[in-house]
Amino acid sequence: MPEMIDTHVHVYPDLEALVAPPVVAALPGGVGRLLDGPLTAALATARAAAGMVPSPEWLSVRRMAALERRMPAAVWERIEQATGVLNLLTVLPRAGTGGLLRSMDRAGVVTSVVIGSFELAPNEWLLAESARSRGRLVPVVCAPRLPADATFDDWVDAFTGLAASGAAGFKIHPKIEGIDADHPSVRARFDVAAEHGLFVILHTGCFHVPIYKTPGPVDLASFVPLLRDHPTVNTCLAHMIRGGPEHAWAVMKDHDQVDRGTSWTRTDVLHRAVETVGPDRIMLGSDWPLLHSGLQADVVAIARQALSDEQFDVVTVEAPARFLGRGARA
């Protein structure tokens, strides 16, 4: 069996570990010590109760894509927002490192690229979890929270420190961060990645999520100068501009270092992508667990259906390995 690599997953701390310490630390000393035990127990109970809610396996990529095509845009936007809330209740409680490793084993995935989620999955925690995984988890960090007036040099120092701490790559999420391509942190990520041999994952999906600071699709054209200036930095266009993949393919044809992941991609779009840019530029990506806990197996099945056996091995093994620097780029 090929050693498949999933280039886009997330993982989250237990709710108790994520919430209890900050809450207790914010309380006066005596009150904090008094509530520490009961608060932790209450959070553990809440996590267990949420975990008893069945994972919504019916939220497959295929079903969501079919639903999106049938719905008016305004209705679909509300559905996506509701799905995000449903994920918080049913998926995140079972989306810890152990849950991810079990998902990987079920889907036949040997290595997963895990991406930080700001306060929900802090960079420091993610780096520590990845270090304990014996190579199965490859950490990609997101932008740290620096002051609004942070300079370009401040950002370079911050990302250099994360590289020294074990980051394999940097995520750019313009929608959550509320930034454009000209933000100093963006060029800092590319510059530090070039200097340290790291890669970049650029969010390009068009989703309707309450936590996004800016709506609509990512302006991929505005990132082209950065791609042109950094030809040695392997860059993945996550979600392949969901809703407009042709724009991603056009950029890929002009920049050999740019690949794209399969997350949230329908069978027909994946087939077209391989026909347009070749299987060696496409990489397996699931965005686990952000639909349901079986999402990795779901996207592997989509790849099986869309691709020939030879193409499947390239997309799930060879192309991701080259992207991670584990093989020579053709």
Cα–Cα dist 86/82, whole Å:
6
Q: What is the DSSP letter of 293?
A: T
Taking residues 121-149, report their average pLDDT.
Answer: 95
Mean pLDDT of 198-224: 84
Q: Model confidence over 39-68: pLDDT tens digits?
A: 555 555 555 555 444 455 556 666 666 666
- Between 72 and 225, where is the model more confident? 225
Q: pLDDT value at position 322?
A: 95
Instruction: Tell me the mean pLDDT in the region 15-24.
Output: 48
Structure confidence at residue 76 (pLDDT): 61
Close Cβ partners of 6 (under 8 Å, ≥ 6 residues apart): 104, 107, 109, 111, 112, 113, 284, 285, 286, 288, 296, 299, 320
Q: Is the pLDDT of residue 16 over 60?
A: no
Q: Environment class of residue 118 by beta-carbon count within 10 Å: exposed (0-12), middle (13-18) or buried (19+)?
A: middle
Res. 218 pLDDT band, cuts 50 70 90? confident
pLDDT at position 37 is 56
Report d(CA 209, CA 41) in Å as an integer. 31
Q: How confident is the model at residue 142 (pLDDT cuts 50, 70, 90)?
A: very high
Number of other residues whose CB lies within 10 A of the CB of residue 222 = 13
Amino acid 262: pLDDT? 82
Q: What is the pLDDT of residues 175-202, one digit of tens each?
A: 889 999 999 999 999 999 999 999 999 9
182 DSSP 8-state letter = T
CATH number of 4-13+54-323: 3.20.20.140
> How far, CA to CA in Å, does 200 sit from each of 77, 131, 214?
28, 20, 21
Question: Which position has the higher pLDDT, 330 or 300?
Answer: 300
Q: What average pLDDT does the segment 82-95 reach?
A: 66
pLDDT of residue 207: 66
Average pLDDT of span 138-162:
97
pLDDT of residue 310: 96
Q: Among residues of the chain, what percentage have pLDDT more than 70?
A: 72
> What tens digit of pLDDT does each residue of 264-297 get?
788 888 999 999 999 999 999 999 988 777 889 9
Residue 8 has which token pair?
Answer: 């886009």
Say what the pLDDT of residue 216 is: 75
Q: Can you tell me the mean pLDDT for 65-91?
A: 68
pLDDT of residue 294: 84
Distance CA 237, CA 23 (A): 37
Give the alpha-carbon dihedral of 81, 248, 330, 313, to 10 degrees. 40
pLDDT at 289: 87
The residue type at 245: P
* Mean model confidence pLDDT for the chain: 83
Domain ranges of the chain: 4-13+54-323
